[in-house]
C-alpha cells in the first residue's frame, strides 16, 4: 500500500495516474498512517469507502476516541462549497444516528452509539 513520494507535487502526480477510487484509497491510507501509524492490513479492515458508505471512508478507534475519515481526491485544486461539506457531515450524522447503510462499519457504529448513550462525546472535524 506504500506510495513513495518526495513532496506534495510528486504525490499528486502519482495519485493522478490512478483511477479515482484507488487514488482516494491511497490518500486515505497516507492520512490514516500519518495519524495512527497504522499497518496496511489494519487499514484494509477499517477502510469502507464505496457506494452506501454513509460518508465513512475509514474509521478507527483508540481507547474512547472514535475517528472517521471522509476523503476526496482531486488532481487539481477544487473549491468545495460549504453546502457540500455540510452534506457530507449530514450523511455521517445520519449514518451514526438514524440509518447505517455502511455494513463494513457496523461494529464501529454500534460501539460508538453504545458509548454515546453512556456519556456525552464530542465530535471534532479536521480539514
Averaged pLDDT, groups of 10, the chain, 127 residues long = 81 92 93 93 95 94 92 89 93 89 93 72 56
Q: Model pTM?
A: 0.84
Q: Are 102 and 109 in contact (CB under 8 A)?
A: yes
Give the structural domain span for 50. Answer: 8-118
Cell 462549497, residue located: 81
Distance separating alpha carbons of residues 120 and 20, to the nearest angstrom:
37
The 3-state DSSP class for residue 84 equals: helix
C-alpha–C-alpha distance, residues 125 and 127, integer Å: 7
Establish if 73 belongs to a structural domain. yes
The secondary structure of 23-44 as a DSSP string is HHHHHHHHHHHHHH---HHHHH
Whole-number pLDDT of residue 23: 93
Q: Would 126 be classed as within a structural domain?
A: no
Domain for residue 30, yes or no?
Answer: yes
pLDDT at residue 2, as a whole number: 67
Q: Quote the pLDDT of residue 124.
A: 59
- DSSP summary character for residue 62: E
CB of 2 closer than 8 Å to CB of 55: no
- Total domains in the chain come to 1
pLDDT, residue 84, reads 93
Q: Identify whether 1 is part of a domain.
A: no
Identify whether 3 is part of a domain: no
Amino acid at each position: 500500500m506504500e506510495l513513495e513520494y518526495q513532496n506534495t507535487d510528486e504525490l499528486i502526480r502519482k495519485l493522478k495516474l490512478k483511477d479515482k477510487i484507488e487514488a482516494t484509497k491511497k490518500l486515505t491510507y497516507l492520512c490514516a498512517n500519518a495519524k495512527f501509524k497504522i499497518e496496511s492490513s489494519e487499514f484494509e479492515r477499517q477502510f469502507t469507502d464505496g457506494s452506501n458508505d454513509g460518508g465513512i471512508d475509514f474509521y478507527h478507534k483508540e481507547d474512547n476516541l472514535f475517528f472517521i475519515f471522509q476523503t476526496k481526491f482531486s488532481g487539481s485544486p477544487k473549491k468545495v462549497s460549504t453546502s457540500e461539506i455540510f452534506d457530507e457531515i449530514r450523511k455521517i450524522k445520519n449514518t451514526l444516528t438514524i440509518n447505517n447503510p455502511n455494513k463494513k462499519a457496523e461494529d464501529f457504529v454500534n460501539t460508538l452509539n453504545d458509548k454515546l448513550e453512556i456519556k456525552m462525546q464530542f465530535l471534532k472535524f479536521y480539514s
